[in-house]
C-alpha cells in the first residue's frame, strides 16, 4: 500500500492558506462605478418586477455543472431574464479549477460583478470584505431584501451563521434544509445478500463484523466466485467535505462522536476533535481488524467516488456489500438501468463495545458563501435584487426542478407530503439528469423543511420518501445532542491566517496516521502515544483555542 498515495487524497484544509495580496482597483468601497452599461438603469421598488427599467447585463462567474447543458441557453436563464430585465453574461469555470480560479480572481482584482456558487469561504469573506473587494450586503438587505428577510425569520439559524466577525454579511447562502441530509453519515448495505444468507440487519459492530465475514465466505451473489467485496469506501476530500464516503465516517460513531468536519462541542462546552479520543483509537483498531481479515476492500483508502459507484454497478452480479455515504448514489446510479440503488438500504447506527451509538447531526444546513457582489458591480442594487428574487418559492422550484406544469406543479388539496402533512408541490422530474431546463442547484435558493418535506410522496418517484423514512426511522432516534454540535463560526482575518497553517499540518498528519493505523503500517499499541504527542507539538491546543474564542463570540452574539 502506497502511503503517500493515501495521504495525497486525504483531508485537505479548506482554509485559505496565507494572506493573498490586496487587489488593486480604482473603485471605491461601495462598489458602484459611475460609468458603464447599466449604471444608470433605475432599480424598481423592492419586491416588484422587472428589477430595472432598462435592461442591464450582469457578469456572473460560477462553476460548471454537469447536470446543466448550457447556462446561456438554459430555459430558466431565459425565464429569469424576462422576469427581471437582467441579462447574464456567464463565465463558467471547470469544476476542477473552481478553487484555483476563485483565489486568483480575488487576488488579482480581475473580477465579474457577481461570484455565484463557488463557495467563498468565511476567511475569504473576512479578508476581501475588509479590503472592499467584496461588498457588505447589510444595507441592501434592509432596503431590498424582501425574500431574504422572510428567510431570516423562518430559519433563525441562518443569519448568525453567515455574519462575519465584524458584523457584516458579505455573502448570501443557499439554505437547503434537507431532512435526510441532516444525518449524512449513513451506511448502505446490499439487502438481497442479507436475505440470501438469512442474516438480520446488524445492530452492533460485532454483528456487522459477522455479516461482513458471511459476505466474504458464503458467496451471496451465487456465481461460484470469491468476488464479493464486503465493505469499501472512498476517502473524504476535505475537512468539510459533505461526500462522506470514507471508511471511518459511519463506523467511528460507534466508538466516539466523529462528525464529518472532525470538530464538536464536548460536555464541558469546549471545542474539541474526535481524533485524539480513546474511542478514536478503538475505532481504528476495529477498522484495522476489517482490513487485516480482508473484509475491507484493500483499495478503499485510495478509490475515488466514481470508482466506488463502479463497484456498486458491477455488470451482471452485485459484488459490493456495504459502503458509507449520504444516499444510495454513492454505491449505485440513481434511476440507473440496473435499478440496484433500491436494494441498498440504510444500516441504523451501530452500538460499539463501549455502548456508544450515535448518528451525526447537522442542523446548520445553510450552505454559506454562495453569492457575493464585488466592487466591480456597476449596479450593485440590481445585483442584490437579482439574488433576493432567487429566494422566492416559485423561483426556487423553477431553478432547481424545472418548468411549472411540466416538471413540477403545485399540490392539490389532499395531496400528502413526505412528512404526512398537506403537500406543497409535486415533483415530476428526475434528479441528476443532464438537462437544459433549470440550473440544477447552481445559484442561490431557499429550501426550508416546509418546502423539502412538502413534496408529494410519489410512488413513481420514491427517492425522497425513501431517504426521509430511512432517516426518520433509523437515524433520528440516535442523533447527537444539538449542544454537542459546533455551529459554523466566523473567524477574524488574523485568526484565519493562523488557523490556515495549523489546519493543514494537523489534518495532513491525522489522515496519514489514520491510513497507516488502518492498514497496519503503524501499530496502535506502540505508536498511539507518539501520535498524540506529535499533534501536541503541532500546536493542536492553539488550534482549538482559536475556535473556542470564535465559539464564545457567537454565543455572546446569540444571547443579545
Q: What is the pLDDT of residues 111-163, one digit of tens each?
A: 999 999 999 988 899 899 999 999 999 999 999 999 999 999 999 989 989 99
Q: Does residue 246 form part of some domain? A: no
Domain assignment present for 516: yes
- Average pLDDT score over residue span 253-282: 97
What does the CA dihedral 309, 437, 117, 64 come to, rounded to 10 degrees?
60
Query: Cα separation of 298 and 232, whole Å?
Result: 8
In a domain, 513, yes or no: yes
Domain span including residue 535 = 3-9+498-554
382 in a structural domain: no
In 306-353 the beta strands, taken as DSSP E runs, fall at 320-325, 344-347
535 lies in a domain? yes
Do you find a cis peptide bond into 204, omega within 30 degrees of 0? Answer: no
- pLDDT for position 347: 98
Question: What is the arithmetic mean of pLDDT over 190-209?
Answer: 98
Rounded CA separation 112/131 (Å): 17
Is 273 part of a structural domain of the chain?
no
pLDDT at 5 over 60: no
What total of structural domains would you count in the chain?
1
| Chain centroid to CA 219 | 36
pLDDT of 555 reads 87
- 39 Cβ partners below 8 Å, 6+ apart? 32, 33, 378, 379
Rg (CA), the chain: 24
Neighbours of 5 (CB within 10 A): 12
Residue at 465 is within a domain: no
Is 507 within a domain?
yes
Question: Cell for 260?
Answer: 464529518
The pLDDT score that the predictor gives to residue 242 is 56
At 104, list the grid cell: 486568483
- Asked if residue 175 lies in contact with residue 155, where contact means CB atoms within 8 angstroms, the answer is yes
Structure confidence by residue, pLDDT tens digits, 505-518: 999 999 999 999 99
Supply 81's cell numbers: 431574464
Nearest to 321 by CA among 210, 240, 442, 448: 210
Q: Is the pLDDT of residue 3 over 70?
A: no
pLDDT, one tens digit per residue, over 438-484 is 999 999 999 999 999 999 998 888 888 999 999 999 999 999 999 99
Measure the CA–CA gap between 187 and 231, rounded to whole angstroms. Answer: 10
For all residues of the chain together, what is the average pLDDT? 90
Distances (CA, A) of 212 to 40, 185, 209, 281, 282: 68, 19, 5, 21, 19
Give me the half-sphere count of Cα atoms (radius 13 Å) on the Cβ side of residue 494.
4
| Phi, psi (degrees; rounded to nearest 5) at 329 | -65, -15
Alpha-carbon distances of 8 from 16, 213, 273, 303, rounded to whole Å: 18, 30, 22, 12
First-to-last alpha carbon distance for the chain, in angstroms, is 54
**How large is the average pLDDT for residues 53-66?**
96
Amino acid at each position: 500500500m502506497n502511503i503517500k498515495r493515501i495521504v495525497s487524497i486525504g483531508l485537505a484544509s479548506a482554509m485559505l492558506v496565507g494572506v493573498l495580496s490586496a487587489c488593486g482597483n480604482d473603485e471605491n468601497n461601495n462598489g458602484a462605478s459611475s460609468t458603464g452599461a447599466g449604471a444608470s438603469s433605475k432599480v424598481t421598488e423592492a419586491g416588484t418586477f422587472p428589477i430595472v427599467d432598462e435592461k442591464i447585463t450582469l457578469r456572473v462567474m460560477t462553476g460548471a455543472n454537469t447536470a446543466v447543458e448550457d447556462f446561456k441557453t438554459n430555459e430558466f436563464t431565459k425565464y429569469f431574464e424576462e422576469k427581471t430585465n437582467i441579462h447574464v453574461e456567464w463565465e463558467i469555470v471547470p469544476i476542477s479549477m473552481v478553487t484555483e480560479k476563485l483565489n486568483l480572481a480575488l487576488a488579482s482584482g480581475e473580477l465579474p460583478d457577481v461570484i455565484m456558487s463557488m463557495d467563498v469561504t468565511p476567511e475569504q469573506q473576512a479578508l476581501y470584505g475588509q479590503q472592499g473587494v467584496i461588498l457588505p450586503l447589510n444595507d441592501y438587505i434592509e432596503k431590498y431584501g424582501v425574500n431574504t428577510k422572510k428567510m431570516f425569520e423562518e430559519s433563525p439559524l441562518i443569519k448568525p451563521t453567515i455574519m462575519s466577525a465584524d458584523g457584516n454579511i458579505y455573502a448570501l447562502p443557499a439554505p437547503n434544509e434537507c431532512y435526510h441530509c441532516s444525518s449524512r453519515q449513513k451506511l448502505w448495505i446490499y439487502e438481497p445478500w442479507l436475505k440470501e444468507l438469512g442474516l438480520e440487519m446488524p445492530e452492533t459492530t460485532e454483528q456487522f463484523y459477522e455479516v461482513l465475514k458471511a459476505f466474504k465466505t458464503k458467496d451471496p451473489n451465487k456465481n461460484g466466485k470469491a468476488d464479493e467485496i464486503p465493505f469499501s469506501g472512498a476517502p473524504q476530500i476535505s475537512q468539510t467535505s459533505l461526500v462522506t464516503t470514507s471508511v471511518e465516517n459511519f463506523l467511528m460513531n460507534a466508538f466516539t462522536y466523529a462528525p464529518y468536519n472532525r470538530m464538536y462541542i464536548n460536555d464541558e462546552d469546549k471545542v474539541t476533535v474526535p481524533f485524539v479520543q480513546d474511542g478514536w483509537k478503538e475505532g481504528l483498531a476495529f477498522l484495522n481488524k476489517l482490513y487485516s481479515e480482508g473484509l475491507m476492500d484493500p483499495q478503499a483508502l485510495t478509490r475515488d467516488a466514481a470508482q466506488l459507484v463502479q463497484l456498486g454497478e458491477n455488470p451482471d452480479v452485485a459484488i459490493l456489500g456495504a459502503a458509507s455515504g449520504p444516499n444510495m448514489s454513492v454505491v449505485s446510479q440513481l434511476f440507473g438501468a440496473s435499478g440496484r440503488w433500491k436494494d441498498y438500504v440504510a444500516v441504523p447506527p451501530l452500538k460499539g463495545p463501549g455502548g456508544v451509538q450515535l448518528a451525526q447531526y447537522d442542523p446548520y444546513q445553510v450552505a454559506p458563501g454562495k453569492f457575493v457582489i464585488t466592487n466591480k458591480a456597476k449596479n450593485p442594487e440590481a445585483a442584490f435584487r437579482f439574488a433576493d428574487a432567487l429566494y422566492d418559492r416559485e423561483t426556487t422550484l423553477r431553478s432547481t426542478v424545472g418548468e411549472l406544469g411540466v416538471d413540477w406543479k403545485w399540490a392539490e388539496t389532499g395531496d400528502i407530503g413526505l412528512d404526512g402533512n398537506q403537500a406543497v408541490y409535486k415533483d415530476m422530474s428526475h434528479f441528476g439528469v443532464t438537462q437544459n431546463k433549470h440550473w440544477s442547484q447552481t445559484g442561490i435558493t431557499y429550501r426550508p423543511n416546509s418546502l423539502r418535506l412538502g413534496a408529494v410522496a410519489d410512488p413513481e418517484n420514491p427517492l425522497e420518501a425513501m431517504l426521509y423514512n430511512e432517516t426518520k426511522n433509523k437515524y433520528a432516534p440516535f442523533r447527537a445532542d444539538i449542544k454537542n454540535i459546533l455551529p459554523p463560526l466566523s473567524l477574524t482575518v488574523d485568526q484565519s491566517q493562523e488557523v490556515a497553517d495549523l489546519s493543514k499540518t494537523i489534518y495532513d498528519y491525522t489522515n496519514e496516521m489514520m491510513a497507516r493505523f488502518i492498514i497496519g503500517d503503524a501499530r496502535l499499541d506502540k505508536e498511539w502515544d507518539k501520535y498524540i504527542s506529535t499533534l501536541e507539538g503541532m500546536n493542536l491546543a492553539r488550534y482549538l483555542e482559536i475556535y473556542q474564542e470564535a465559539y464564545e463570540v457567537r454565543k455572546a452574539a446569540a444571547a443579545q
